[in-house]
Structure 1
Amino acid sequence: MAAANRLRLGLAMRLALRELRGGLSGFYIFLACVALGTGAIAAVNSVSEMMTGSITSEGRTILGGDVRFEVENRDFTGAERTYLESLGTSSSGAGLRTMARLPDGSDQSLVELRAVDDAYPLYGELVTQPALPVDEVFAEQDGVYGAIVAPIFLDRLALKIGDEVLVGQARFEIRAAIVTEPDALSEGFGFAPRLMISRQALDAAGLVRPGSLVEQSYRIRLDGGTDARALAALRTEAGERFADAGWQIRTSQNAAPALTRNIERFSQFLTLVGLTALIVGGVGIANSVRAWLEGKRGVIATLKCVGAPARLVVAIYLIQVMLIAGFGVLLGLILGAATPFFAAGALSSVIPISVDASFYPGSLAIAAGFGLMTAFAFAVLPLGRAGEVPATALFRQQGFEASGLPRWPYLLTAGLTLVALCAAAIWFADDRRIAGIFVAAVAVAFAVLRLVGHAVQAAARRFPTVRSTPLRLAIGNIHRPGALTPSVVLSLGLGLALLVTLALIDTNLRRELSGNLPDRAPNFFFVDIQSSEIDGFEKVVTTLVPDGKVIKVPMLRGRITELKGEAVSVDNVPPQARWVLRGDRGVTYAKNLPENSRLSAGQWWPADYQGEPLVSFSSEEAGELGLSVGDTITVSVLGRSIIAKIANLRDVEWESLSINFVMVFSPNTFAGAPHSWMATLSDPGADAALEGEVLRAVTQAYPTITSVRVKDALELANRVVGQIGIAIRAAALVALVASVLVLAGALAAGNRSRIHDAVVLKTLGATRATLIRAYVYEYGLLGLATALFALAFGGVAAWFVVSRIMTLPSSFMPDIALMTLAGALLVTVGIGLIGTWRVLGQKAAPVLREL
């Protein structure tokens, strides 16, 4: 038996290779579908791996050391400094947001202030223009300290090298512009221009006070081992030795975790879009195989007449299909492998690290696996049907239309392959929950579109007879045996739904940042307001803006260290909730329920409450963390661990950009603790001139208060969203191209029957105009059916992504959705008609001789 199977497989291979000598005619759409999807996945994953690999390889330079220790809103203790400095060569620094202003008070700007010591930088090089050594650029000269700034700061305040600015209570001379800040990525995303000074200058400016929002850090070049195991051991030792320090410890193995995480998540999104395009192309693969087999009817019939069993026929053509699929995958891999080399230069100008392109076998292997599995899964079913058609039917030119579903082994094989494809998509995803939802949505869309296709055919079959000949022909084409309806509805439906989803996501993001959000958001945020300044600050603001609304709340910083008595770790916290536990969070206390929130569970404490510490937790984040009323959390605040019981849960309107906190404590929790205040100013009628006046008045009266104009922050966010939008539109283009290819494949699969129909109808007196109108009606009716599905499914998908994943308000915008559908249908149906035009030009005699 084994020998017979080997003989049969060898024979199938020889016959398949011999038949492939005739070329790839009829498989160009097949190749395009496989190459497009594979190339998209390979390109996205290769670029992602290039970026994350570059970050890892330059980990020391990006981090500024082998290991970095950070504490929020406090300084390191003497014991902590002694321990850290014993590990190797160290460099201390501090970072905060504050205001820099011109000496005459005429203008000011928010800056990301960074203070460094004489040892900075431990790795890499600080490059300035003009080039100056660190000790000279920051030195004090006649009571004026040196500073270096980002070039945009000079443009914003119309300054030049040598000019002076005021920061806090100190005067600074701008001695150079920053060209390269080697560890800028580890400092995180900045909303304002960089301004760098010395640690001594920071003390002179008087910016660090009790409750100030300042990040203190130590970067260390280790004397000992710096491999992954040694760094992990150091983290463990530091955590055990200073259990209550509440510091963040980062190593060069994970120098920029936020950036790496964002790259991985965005690449996952684009990979899933590419996979969807590949699956949409899978329908095109099935159509192409079906059309190709139509041209092989005579060969298949001959093989079956000379005794070839169905399995041998299927094996011959499956080998051919997979060889051609392999060639398509190879084309996609070449495209994907080349993409990092084209993208490296552009990305280097966006992210300040050396990006070295290379080949990434892992990413290419994943893309190749997806491409081959998709081709196999969608090719098995038409091949199985072809193997079951008797030779007599093939000789009678009946083709494969009436053969129905293949036998269960082929159905099972295709089903298992698709399940494996979905499982792989989820397994390789960074966030498997989102990937699982995405895969489930595609599966539901497939099932629903199948039902839509059958419903359209059933409706056409029962539609009353109409007098219009073109319309009657169109309705007949929709429900006749072998009709294109299922393939066209499935391919167009998936492609259009993906297009509508991407368009609505992009538009919702833009509208939220440029339209609704500025209308709801306050005009200003003010932070680092000391208790001794809060009354005077409020008087300054209300004098200038008497109709404005000032909301002020006390603020501290704290980190969650335990949930329900158990230490938090990556293992016991779901991925979607880990952001709550990263670093210190802003916390506050309040007698009354804050605005823009409402209780969803539990009771608010009395105004004069004096019992055990209580906390009100945001309900959404509590659900993600598995917390409920009555549970306890432990928070480290100002070096002290506080155990508080959850008294209630709140629904918080985060999108309002008002002052909101995940955790609000009962007032007695922080009795006597030093803290600062945070305030917002809201006045919808304030214009740019009034906002500028408020900014100058607050900065001059209280130079250490940080003023953030919300409009400036939103403009920066708009630029970021614009860059994301480019990627979204590129993904939409891939989806549109996939839909066009699939429609072209469906038309190619139905060309034989359409040629026969056109010839017979033209012989009976039909004109080309009549037939064209019939095809326009047919494609229009199918487009209308798929458009209705795409509107519904795309609207729901976009709502889920925007409201549930991005936690932003989402609304269905029919104008955007309809314009997207109209444009896509115009392109796809237009291409369909172009393909049909060739059918109408066939001469009658050769076709009639075959009937």
Structure 2
Amino acid sequence: MSMTADTAPRGGTLSLAVRFALRELRSGLRGFYVFIACIALGVMAIAGVGSVAGSLSAGLDHQGRTLLGGDASFALIQREASKEERAFLDAHGKISATAIMRGMARSPSGEFALVDLKAVDGNYPMLGTVSLEPKMPVPDLLAQRDGAFGAGADAVLLARLGLKAGDRVTVGNATFEVRATVQAEPDKLAGGVGLGPRFLISEDALRATGLLQPGTLVRWIYRLQLPDASGDERATQSVVNAAQKALPEAGWEVRTRGNASPQLERNITRFTQFLTLVGLAALLVGGVGVANAIKSHLDERRDVIATFKALGATGREVFTIYLVQVMVLAILGSLIGLAIGAALPFIIVGLFGKILPLPVEATFHAGELALSFVYGLLTALAFGLWPLGRIHDVPVAALFREGVAHEFHWPRRRYLVLMASVIALLIAVAIGLAYDKRVAAVFVASSVGVFAVLRGVASMLMALARSLPRARFTMLRLAIANIHRPGALTPSVVMSLGLGLAVLVTITQIDGNLRRQFMAALPEHAPSFYFIDIPAAEAPRFSAFLKQAAPAANVETVPMLRGRIVAAKGIRAEDLKPSTDSAWVLQSDRGLTYTGEVPRGSTVVDGTWWSADYSGPPLVSLEKKIADGIGVKVGDDITVNVLGRDITAKISNLRTVDWQSLGINFVLVYSPKTFAGAPHTDIATLTEAGSSNAASDAKLIKDVAAAFPMVTSVRVREALDSIGKVVTNLVLAIRGASSVTLISAILVLGGALAAGHRHRVYDAVILKTLGATRARLLGAYALEYLLIGLATAVFGVAAGSIAAWQIVTRLMTLGFVWQAGSAALVVLAALAVTVGLGLAGTLLALNQKPATVLRNL
């Protein structure tokens, strides 16, 4: 049975190792369940996220034409298409025009509600269908009859105003009969999400409301359906290029069916990356379980390994045998994870397909599945090579002594190099395939740092326990000795639990701060109301009205226009290379204003502010983070298209902005005379000195709507509640994904404790033989687990709190308040899990018969 190179051909070494490895696995997978589960969970998370994201992207690609409402869309802000622009579009195909703006709907009882008006023409929808209840053709829904225009309303609006089908409401100067509830719109995703419920009306009805004033904040979308381009993207792009060439200053935002909802696609990509990182975190946590499981397995197989070596097997051959076993089990775990992850899109479509507002097309995505499979194998190798490499040079005598003595030694250099190569490959894959490589690099560096710190925490804890004076209390003395003795569980428990707790604390701290920001108290001095679309000529009268209605409140009114950045430093916007967190400013139109004074909440940090009576060439002030992100500085030129005209201004200064105050502020602020004579509206805020109540707020909304029907009132609390609901759903999704990491941590912790079970049995038997009682041993082990769990929990709270602080303040640019309550709950949960799992294993050890154990010593 000799396995030496003399008796086995060199080419047959691997096949012989495979035979022995598979033969050992015939006895079952006992001891490897945690190994398989950890790999399967991580691979499942990555494969599931990739498959769902791929299915959603496929749905967006295949249904992009329907989502867009045509082959291409041309959007304008604050103005309709000119005759020349409309003639160009009409010449290239069928056109459907849509106008989207906000308004105030008034019920017969005098109640008001903010609505998102969507006015459509007779060609809407060119693609797809509008789902109405009761069902009816769109022309019948919107037709004018008996002195009222028809309308479709969101069910939320009907509930808010206490309406039903057939009731009438007033918007501006027009009366509407609500004839159906709008359940779905084919182009809703492309249009974005509004603050109010949908109110679907005709274009003629919108004009009858009187809300279309010069400078009104309205978005006109012209959808183009080409005659013969249902499957030809090149024909669509040709029309887009021709439009940009023929009408270079139109200033419209152009989309094609290939990017029907770019913001949604970007969000999907970013969220996919985040969830992929969560999956990687689960794999990294599981990697500790892999190492523990392999070490435990090698401990249990010491007699077999000794026999192999006694019969002439080399260390390399023994290493190969158990490496093959590890890879077989890693493949098994990865395949289980792949199967569940690949099935996830089909499960989602099967269970939620009819109510899901997103176009998910359940398909298999071989690339994503292959990537997750590679992640699983690389993780198993990265964490398994260390314990595998250590068996190469261990002599047979030491293996037989392993039951009572642990001799630490480093693996050979070849195994260290191999392990380093695998880790480098894993890092390269994680960063190289990431959407945002900077975020991925930070994640990798943080993971390496966390593992190093965790090992340091374990070493410090053991050193502290070793340096403590001998305790007089027996159970405490045993507990402290167990923490630092050779073969102690301390490193395994700290590594197993630490990263999972850090992730949990990070999520709970972010969750608490988002809820505080959007669903609890408003920031100090935050406005109570925003008022939009105030005609410029009516602005003084409107301010006087608010002063009279709320004498103690502070009213601020500023002019507002909308424009789209088309160039900077002479470079077209589409050719700029902005940073990830500033790209949004180039992707659509932005609000802008002009003033002679530095806006409240802004601080000039570079350059100088213009004088209040400045009347020279256009100057602009830019928010500093955005300026840094798009690569401009003081003295550079920036061009913005406003109302169909390109306005080029020199950057005079850069500002920092306190966005959390919720006051009026803009990324772009221009010098006073830049937009003299341009049609625009004003925006106003009302900040009350004390706390408001729902009754007084409702009265103010009603008074403003009655005196100024064209003005839209937005109650800040309601807007934040709407955002808070979105944030809550997002946090729930993050929490659900992160639970995979926590499950892995618990599995790994259980595996670590199971790996030390054999040594616990020896300890328990010897101590019981020397007179220790069951209660005293349980108390000692409980104290040991309690102390280790407490130290790990302290680290988890500290690391998670720091990570959450960085994410909330730097990425989300929000205020951070440490959530002591959630941190305390995490500590209690960690202690309960650690002590509970530890004592469960201890009870099994205490039930072992002494005679069997003592005979093997």
* TM-score where L is the length of structure 2: 0.96
Alpha-carbon offset, residue 133 of structure 1: 2.1
The 3-state SS of whatever aligns with 2:822 is helix
The answer to whether the Cα contact below 8 Å between 1:97 and 1:113 also exists between their aligned partners in 2 is yes
Partner of 1:657: 662
Q: Give the aligned CA root-mean-square deviation in angstroms.
A: 1.9
Cα distance in 2 for partners of 1:769, 1:481 equals 24
Correspondence 1:819 to 2:825: yes
- Aligned pair partner of 2:175 in 154, 164, 171: 171
Correspondence 1:370 to 2:344: no
- Aligned pair partner of 2:714 in 708, 711, 714: 708
The answer to whether the Cα contact below 8 Å between 1:70 and 1:248 also exists between their aligned partners in 2 is yes
The 3-state SS of whatever aligns with 1:681 is strand
Question: 1:757 is matched by which residue type in structure 2?
Answer: D
The answer to whether the Cα contact below 8 Å between 2:576 and 2:630 also exists between their aligned partners in 1 is no
| Structure 2 counterparts to residues 427-442 of structure 1, below 5 A | 427-442=432-447
* 400 and 561 in structure 1: CA distance in 2 versus 1, 3 angstrom threshold: farther
Alpha-carbon offset, residue 400 of structure 1: 8.5
Partner of 1:775: 781
The answer to whether the Cα contact below 8 Å between 2:103 and 2:712 also exists between their aligned partners in 1 is yes
Alpha-carbon offset, residue 432 of structure 1: 2.3
- Aligned pair partner of 1:119 in 102, 119, 123: 123
* 238 and 224 in structure 1: CA distance in 2 versus 1, 3 angstrom threshold: farther
Deviations 1:552-583 (A, max 9, x none): 10001111111222112266222221111111
Question: 2:693 is matched by which residue type in structure 1?
Answer: D
* 131 and 572 in structure 1: CA distance in 2 versus 1, 3 angstrom threshold: same
Partner of 1:262: 267
Question: 1:719 is matched by which residue type in structure 2?
Answer: K
* 436 and 456 in structure 1: CA distance in 2 versus 1, 3 angstrom threshold: same
Partner of 2:698: 692
Alpha-carbon offset, residue 62 of structure 1: 0.9
The 3-state SS of whatever aligns with 2:390 is helix
Deviations 1:768-788 (A, max 9, x none): 222212212211221222122
Cα distance in 1 for partners of 2:644, 2:9 equals 77
The answer to whether the Cα contact below 8 Å between 2:119 and 2:201 also exists between their aligned partners in 1 is yes
The 3-state SS of whatever aligns with 2:250 is coil
Partner of 2:652: 647
Question: 1:770 is matched by which residue type in structure 2?
Answer: R
Question: 2:437 is matched by which residue type in structure 1?
Answer: R
Question: 1:723 is matched by which residue type in structure 2?
Answer: N
* 486 and 787 in structure 1: CA distance in 2 versus 1, 3 angstrom threshold: same
Partner of 1:219: 223
The 3-state SS of whatever aligns with 2:776 is helix
- Aligned pair partner of 1:134 in 122, 127, 138: 138
- Aligned pair partner of 1:507 in 488, 506, 512: 512
Deviates more, 1:745-754 or 1:242-251: 745-754
Partner of 1:389: 394
Partner of 1:291: 296
Number of equivalenced pairs: 850
Cα distance in 2 for partners of 1:471, 1:685 equals 55
Question: 2:180 is matched by which residue type in structure 1?
Answer: A
Give the share of equivalent positions with the same residue, in percent: 49
Question: 2:24 is matched by which residue type in structure 1?
Answer: E
| Structure 2 counterparts to residues 407-806 of structure 1, below 5 A | 407-517=412-522, 520-569=525-574, 572-683=577-688, 684-806=690-812
The 3-state SS of whatever aligns with 1:661 is coil
The 3-state SS of whatever aligns with 1:30 is helix
Cα distance in 1 for partners of 2:596, 2:374 equals 59
* 820 and 181 in structure 1: CA distance in 2 versus 1, 3 angstrom threshold: same
Cα distance in 1 for partners of 2:457, 2:595 equals 55
* 402 and 570 in structure 1: CA distance in 2 versus 1, 3 angstrom threshold: farther
Alpha-carbon offset, residue 366 of structure 1: 2.1
- Aligned pair partner of 1:808 in 784, 804, 814: 814
Alpha-carbon offset, residue 747 of structure 1: 1.6
Cα distance in 1 for partners of 2:512, 2:355 equals 24
The 3-state SS of whatever aligns with 2:673 is helix
Cα distance in 1 for partners of 2:636, 2:409 equals 59
The 3-state SS of whatever aligns with 2:19 is helix
* 570 and 456 in structure 1: CA distance in 2 versus 1, 3 angstrom threshold: farther
The answer to whether the Cα contact below 8 Å between 2:601 and 2:657 also exists between their aligned partners in 1 is yes
Question: 1:120 is matched by which residue type in structure 2?
Answer: Y
Question: 1:66 is matched by which residue type in structure 2?
Answer: D
Deviations 1:782-819 (A, max 9, x none): 12221221122111100111111111111222222121
Deviates more, 1:183-192 or 1:229-238: 229-238
Alpha-carbon offset, residue 346 of structure 1: 5.5
Question: 1:122 is matched by which residue type in structure 2?
Answer: M
Cα distance in 2 for partners of 1:349, 1:771 equals 58
Deviations 1:329-358 (A, max 9, x none): 111122212222232255545543554423
The 3-state SS of whatever aligns with 2:113 is strand
Partner of 2:844: 838
Cα distance in 1 for partners of 2:9, 2:662 equals 73
* 444 and 161 in structure 1: CA distance in 2 versus 1, 3 angstrom threshold: same
* 285 and 399 in structure 1: CA distance in 2 versus 1, 3 angstrom threshold: farther
Question: 2:204 is matched by which residue type in structure 1?
Answer: Q
Deviations 1:197-252 (A, max 9, x none): 11122222222221111111111111243434433343333223322111111111
Cα distance in 2 for partners of 1:489, 1:128 equals 57
Deviations 1:702-746 (A, max 9, x none): 111111111211221222122122223323432322121111121
Deviations 1:485-517 (A, max 9, x none): 222111211111111111101111111112233
- Aligned pair partner of 1:379 in 378, 384, 396: 384
Cα distance in 2 for partners of 1:835, 1:520 equals 56
Cα distance in 1 for partners of 2:696, 2:20 equals 83
Partner of 1:282: 287
Cα distance in 1 for partners of 2:314, 2:307 equals 12
Deviations 1:672-728 (A, max 9, x none): 222110001111332111111110111111111111111211221222122122223
Cα distance in 1 for partners of 2:831, 2:431 equals 31
Cα distance in 1 for partners of 2:501, 2:181 equals 49
The answer to whether the Cα contact below 8 Å between 2:789 and 2:834 also exists between their aligned partners in 1 is no
Cα distance in 2 for partners of 1:630, 1:195 equals 45
* 400 and 722 in structure 1: CA distance in 2 versus 1, 3 angstrom threshold: farther
The 3-state SS of whatever aligns with 1:533 is helix
Cα distance in 2 for partners of 1:341, 1:257 equals 25
Question: 1:191 is matched by which residue type in structure 2?
Answer: L
